[in-house]
Amino acid sequence: MKIAIVDDDPSVREALARFLTVNDMECTAFSSGSRFLDSLTGESPDCLLLDLQMPDMSGQAVQRALREAGFFMPVIVITANRDSGVQGRALEAGAVACLAKPVDTDLLLGTIRRLEVDDRRSAMAGPGFQYSSAL
């Protein structure tokens, strides 16, 4: 599974990338939302880990830009903001999960593994079938 990590904190990016790589995932890390968006071409990652509060472009702005550009990938928001309103808005904007920092790695891995299973079920079902699962 290819994972993109977008967080302005280098220690968070490095720790998440290291953890996910050890768990057999291919990771690319970006220090800002705009750098991530600039990297997108025809192929997008299988999943995006996205910080909400970044100086150049907020996570919500990244989510909006992805939708407007026609990129639809599962987004897992990671945030230090414990405000349930902020987290709720991220979920309303299409995030599949919103995890608090410091990130519970077991919860993160479980969320990603569920996305992989859902993706495989969807692919096996064939065209026209929509599989959906609450995370």
pLDDT in tens, 57-86: 999 999 999 999 988 899 999 999 887 788
DSSP bridge pairs for 105: none
Please report, for the chain, how many H helices and E strands are present, in that order: 5, 5
Mean pLDDT (whole number) for 93-103? 92
* SS3 track for 51-72: ECCCCCCCHHHHHHHHHHHCCC
Q: Tell me: the pLDDT tens digits for 9-52? A: 999 999 999 999 999 999 999 999 999 999 998 788 999 999 99
pLDDT of residue 74: 95
- 71 contact partners, CB below 8 Å, separation of at least 6: 40, 44
- 10 contact partners, CB below 8 Å, separation of at least 6: 31
pLDDT at 125 > cutoff 80: no
Instruction: Please report which confidence band the pLDDT of residue 91 belongs to, taking 50, 70 and 90 as the band edges.
Output: confident
The SS3 of residue 3 is strand
Tokens of residue 93, six digits: 């904007």
Going from N- to C-terminal start, the domains of the chain cover 2-125
**Crossing angle of the two packed helices 84-92 and 59-69, in degrees rounded to 10:** 10
DSSP bridge pairs for 3: 27, 47
Domain 2-125: CATH class, spelled out: alpha beta
Taking CA atoms, 88 is separated from 33, 79, 84, in Å, by 20, 12, 6
pLDDT of residue 86: 80
